[in-house]
Structure 1
Amino acid sequence: MNEFRYPRQLRLLTGGDFKQVFSRASIKVSDKHLLILACPNELDHSRIGFVISKKNIRLAVNRNRVRRIIRESFRLNQHDLPNVDIVILARKGLGDIENPDVHSLIKRSWSRLVKKAKATARPKPTSNK
């Protein structure tokens, strides 16, 4: 049976963890309101971190709401995600959309992330001339 907990091991905690994702991001999932950067890790699970600035989502209640929705979605989908470190960056307007729309946005983003991770993990075919 799968566990759906959210312990410290599933979070990016230090500045070095975030810096590594920003410098080595090989997977990018972009949307109008959201940007996901990811890089492979050596662990047997994925980890997540958030960069949600006051500039992009003005009210703290909206920043926390968005963070809570994405964290819950990550918790429920963690077993389907590849072994990558993920940074979620909020863009302008994310705090203005309703909860069901945020849920559908992050669900689409997870599927795109999985698809791109599989594509980058596959070795590129070489042509023999």
Structure 2
Amino acid sequence: MKTILAIAAGGALGALGRHFLAYHVNALIGPGFPWGIFVCNVLGSFAMGVLVEASAMFWSPSAELRAFIAVGVLGAFTTFSTFSLDVVLLLERGDMVKAGLYVTASVLCGVIGLFAGLHLIRAVMA
């Protein structure tokens, strides 16, 4: 139960962080490209790398704290950080084909899924 509460609390913070950072970056740079979410994705991926390597090298956070940061905060701040970690783990294992397929399929299927959801609702509401 402590882990679930840690994830929920981290998720709330991560989602708010994504919202406010993306808003301010977009306000600063302007429209035309989703710079705010791009910055969140890159920053979240960087933070995930720091967390994973620090945990492997010199820091041993509790399971609840790891869940709070990785699943909660970073998972809500950007699911892209988790995706990036999966890709890097595949690459570090030497599984280039799986990594390439995972990247390609994730991006294509994610975009196709979004279009499918748009079209479903548009068809239902028409």
Taking structure 1 as the reference length, the TM-score comes to: 0.33
| Structure ranking higher in strand proportion | 1
Rg (Cα) greater in structure: 2
| Structure ranking higher in helix proportion | 2
Taking structure 2 as the reference length, the TM-score comes to: 0.34
